[in-house]
Chain A
């Protein structure tokens, strides 16, 4: 089990995290850029000697007021965001680097890692000739062959396409569970990990802000009244939304609105005198453009995070500001069900 209670201070940034992670746990660490996710992984790996507090792995104190176990003794293998392959070695020598220095620990074997990550064709290649996705696969393989006691992944598949990620994750998770080492994975697509049973950990500005998954496209609302046309007036963020409640609702009932992005327009300002079913202000938390131009947005509404996926929309990434207020405009009344 990994137990940590660590702090670090940089100019204009404070990180303070207390968390435990059991053997076999897979933690999906997510949050906006600058939240401190990579720094937390570096602290656990032993690459931030300025960090204060305590890091304990099982009965071993990797860091406290008296001890600082250097990174090469920890076996907390970090897969860096930029791979950091050794440029003077070919792929095979990179893969074997950790294998020769695994401290006698047992771990996944060579052929298993080569097969899962489909590295057969890459083994003889020079690292400088690899694409971003290939580099990431080699870095992942190098880490697995080092027989980690704890695996720390910093966006390990950001350069791979969705199909390959979807193919790789289940196989890797199977491997992680077999060797029972805890895995902490920073991801900008945490949903991929949720589907595989990972535990969520959300960070913002150096602190853990949530340990639960964000509801995907769901929003709580309070029923105010039923209109003569059968639609219900519901309160969300002090705004009125018109919704359909097939099972009926009563004033003050709490309902869950099911937001469907194809019936929502995203606007940067409130639009007045608009024929719509309501509009609500939201604060942009993060956004990410996935494959097939699918944009995943995370918004905060009334202290709750919601995720919305928009497909085939034209948006200028540079015009989006994290923490800015935007508006969701409803072109159709959303469906609502009782939240109880």
Chain B
């Protein structure tokens, strides 16, 4: 089952208080340079019980080209998941502008929040009920989506017998069946064993490769996953520190990691 209906709010454009990017004249709905995801000068803060403003995002700007698989990394508390939820429309930024190709879908870390039907194929088809599709079209979409995530042989399987990673792949298939253009995936591999980790990340990689129109943004702590990425973004303290080449970002983090481990063990 795909929860994309939660994310189908009209995209709210909030005028930035201080524009730092030049405004480009474009016709409505069109976008230059073919980006599937764009956030400009995003800020977000929440208020504590003591009526204190805590900034989480401080002027973040990102761009993800259409048809690519990018990863978002950074220390705990740097704002990665907050940024992802703003892109998904689950949170409203304090200021800044968001453009995300629709339909978009957010895949949660706990698959039991999304996989609710008794069998694999019925769960993938669940979200299609609100569209008036012929029966053959539904079957065709379900079949194609399950093939993309490598679960064709599990079509009639009870979801209770699936591993956590397999359930996540079912959730991703549900998004694909609805012709989702943007996948937003929040630390899916945190609780998975190695086989499941590879299964899920390859499912996303294959989904992006199979369709020129699918773009994915994946939050993670695992540096080894960067080898599957087309590009990456590194955040710290609510800011985008690096944006672009995945290998450079991996080297940057690994160098700091080595230095830190040496420091604390000396």
Question: Are these two chains actual partners, yes or no?
Answer: no
